[in-house]
Every structure is written in structure tokens, then in C-alpha cells.
Amino acid sequence: MAHISKNKPDSGLLQLIFNELSTHIAKVDKRTAPRFLHELLTETEQIMIAKRMTAIVMLSQNIGVYKIATRLQMSTSTVRLITFAYENGKYDNIVNSINKSKKDKEHFWELIELISRGGLPSRGKDRWKFLNALTE
């Protein structure tokens, strides 16, 4: 779990720092973004943010709290908190951003599908294709 100091900076200063961070994140291109976030965030923070974003996208597709909690290995209370915020419009910009590009949306759902299968191949006719390619 991420730990935050009890000594909070002045809210005005915190807003300035956050605005500066937002500006720098917006300047990062798609190729360098993973490295930028990896350097900025701890492993725990990366996991927390990735799970939250995935839960938000799953909620946008009307997937239930229990299924999200199970698939992402999150507590149902955490997913309920995210659900409450989602229902009150807190994540509208995130959902709109992902839904804006059909390619990005499909890629994100492929990722969620992979998580749902626990990393196993799909159940279709080509499900063992990757294994055959390894043995050739």
C-alpha cells in the first residue's frame, strides 16, 4: 500500500505542483510514456493505478462489482468505492478518452480479456497457435 506523509503541503502549492506534473505528462509521447511512468511511480502505485483504470473501463461496460473484484483481485469494498465515484461522473474523462479511439478501446479490451483468462490463450480454434510456433 502506498504511504502518504501526514505533513501535507499548502493546498495552493500542491495545486501548482500537480499542474506542473500534468503539463509534463501531457508532453510525453506514446513511445516514452511507459518509461516515464515507470520512473515516476513505484511498482505499488503502478499496480493501483492500472487496476483502478481497468475497473473504471469494466464499469463502463456494465460489468458487475463482484466480477471486477474477482478478475482484478481487488476487494469488493474498493470496487464499490470506484463504482460510487463512477456513477457520480468522476471518471467521465477517462471513459471518454478510452472510448474515443476504437483501436485503443479494442486493445484495452484484449488486455482485460487476457487478465480474465489468467494469461491463458483464447478458447478459439487458434488457441494453441502460439505454442505450435514455439515448437517449430
The pTM assigned to this predicted structure is 0.73
Q: How crowded is residue 43: how many other Cβ atoms within 10 Å of its Cβ?
A: 8
Alpha carbons within 13 angstroms on the beta-carbon side of residue 46 total: 11
Among candidate residues 31, 69, 25, the one with its CA nearest the CA of residue 51: 69
pLDDT tens digits, 58-113: 899 899 999 999 988 899 999 999 999 999 999 999 988 888 877 777 777 777 77
122: confidence class by pLDDT, cuts 50, 70, 90? low
pLDDT tens digits, 20-51: 999 988 898 888 888 988 899 898 888 899 89
Burial of 57 (0-12, 13-18, 19+ CB in 10 A): buried
